[in-house]
Amino acid sequence: MPITRSQFRESSAIRNEIVADKVRMGTLKSDLRMTDVKPLAGVKSADNGAVLLVYKYTLDYGLEEPKNKSLGNITIKGEMIFVESSKNIDAIVKGWQKDKKLKAEFLTEALSYALRDAQIEAIEQAKKVSLPSPVPLPKIRQKPSKAA
């Protein structure tokens, strides 16, 4: 699946002010979904066509304590251009227009590409507002020294 271009349209992070005696992280909820599929007429040739895939990635930093509170959230909206045979592009667009669904093999690859880009942006956004990284980052550990 050739994705020829990918870019962000919107990227934001909010850290909520929490006033409590005890704050304990809960779960980090993430959601990635395609929000639109649009045919690109200007990219069409005899054999190939293209679609614009629009996605939204959200993260919510839920807290265990205080209950029902959120430490913050990150929202990223992006798009990518996918080039494929005209026959496949037509099927993709018709499937989306019919019931807002894409074939599993196509959706898996498109979402994987979007997730990779969005997670890198989410790490940067989290750092800007002092939220924990949404992806575990590598750590360097010192080996215990041997007793002489």
> Whole-number mean pLDDT of the chain?
91
Q: What distance lies between CA 95 and its chain's CA centroid?
A: 22
Per-residue confidence (pLDDT) for residue 6, from 0 to 100: 92
User: What pTM does this model have?
Assistant: 0.86
Q: How many CA atoms lie within 13 A of 121 on its CB side?
A: 23
Q: How far is Cα 131 from Cα 99, in angstroms, rounded to an integer?
A: 37
Per-residue confidence (pLDDT) for residue 93, from 0 to 100: 92
- Tell which wins on pLDDT, 42 or 99: 99
Residue with tokens 């026959």: 87
- CA 137-12-122 angle, 5° bins: 15
Q: Identify the three-state secondary structure at position 140.
A: coil
Residue extents of the structural domains in the chain: 3-128
Q: Let me know if domain 3-128 sits in CATH 3.90.700.10.
A: no
- pLDDT tens-digit series, residues 76-130: 999 999 988 888 888 999 999 999 998 888 888 899 999 999 999 999 999 999 9
What's the rounded mean pLDDT across residues 127-135? 95
**What sign results for the dihedral spanned by CA atoms 106, 29, 57, 101?**
positive
What's the rounded mean pLDDT across residues 130-141? 92
